[in-house]
Amino acid sequence: MSNSKQVEIQGVQLHLVEPDRLSVRWVGQNELLGQLLAAWMVIDDGDLPLNPRLLGKPGVGKTTLAYAAAKSLGREVYIMQATMDTRPEDLIVLPVVGEDQKIRYVASPLVSAMLTGGILVLDEGNRMSEKSWASLAPLLDARRYVESLVAGIKIEAHPDFRFVATMNEDSSTFELPEYIHSRLQPQIFVDFPEREEELLILRENLPHLEDSILEYVADFLQRAHRADERYSVRDGINIARYAAKLVKSQKTEVAGELRRAIRMVLGLEALRYVG
């Protein structure tokens, strides 16, 4: 804590958290990248960035897309996981008792991004309650600030600050209130990629595996997508990795271990999509 970056706001020292560092790269679907970057663009002195919402099934790469877009702008990225237990103070400032028994105020990833001109990715935002969303309402409109009741301060966003929320279309714990819904625009839908793009993603994440394994997994995923299954490329990566480990440890045939990996990762019913 003593080595963290500090910022003074209205006489209160805030300790900032470090940005996230991920070794990921967005592959394919460049149109989605362009849509997100356009939402963040400021085209006039009187203009403000939009606060887009990325919608899609789990595992389609919403967080990866947001991270890659942010890094393409040369910005630091802060990722905050929303849950049904996320409180307003979790989103803004938390008091922490230090080793010297004095209270220190720690900025959330959101506030750290606000103060440094970074980009905040609020992951799975539709798991969060209206009370927590309400605390962000002034940030998501022309006011661009939040208030910390805990620290008794108002925090204004840096002009370079950008915000994006990811939401799983099938796992909403709470309905978004209308006044928040209208602040989280545009909606950018992230769907499963086409086969060649899905294969590129597998190759990007698993460059050490034989292409025959990746081709097999890509074909399996495409058959599942056509049946409207929720299996994602993330599942495909886990299947390929586990199959390769089984082959290495058991010294068995690849095809048999791929079937076994699919069954163990996704369940017996997933074998219906094996060619």
**Residues 152, 185: one domain?**
yes
- pLDDT of 57: 87
C-alpha distances in Å from residue 215, one per residue of 122, 206, 240, 252: 33, 12, 10, 19
pLDDT recorded at residue 3: 57
The residue from 163, 189, 215 where one domain ends is 189
Instruction: Tell whether the torsion through CA atoms of 103, 104, 105 and 108 is positive or negative.
Output: negative
What per-residue confidence (pLDDT) applies to 28?
Answer: 73
215 in the same domain as 173: no
Whichever domain contains 126, its CATH number is: 3.40.50.300
Residue 38: what pLDDT? 98
Question: Mean pLDDT for each consecutive 10-residue tract of the chain (275 residues)?
Answer: 77 94 81 96 95 92 93 96 94 87 92 98 94 96 95 96 91 80 96 91 92 95 94 94 91 88 96 93
According to the model, what pLDDT value does residue 1 have? 45
Q: Judge whether 204 lies within some domain.
A: yes
The pLDDT of residue 170 is: 65
Residue where a domain terminates, one of 155, 189, 223? 189
One domain for residues 117 and 238: no
- For residue 87, give its domain range: 6-189
Asked whether residue 133 falls in the same domain as residue 164, the answer is yes
130 and 246 together in one domain = no
- 185 and 199 in a single domain? The answer is no
| Full-model pTM | 0.85
What span, in angstroms and rounded, lies between the C-alpha atoms of 139 and 272?
48
Q: Tell whether 218 and 169 lie within a shared domain.
A: no
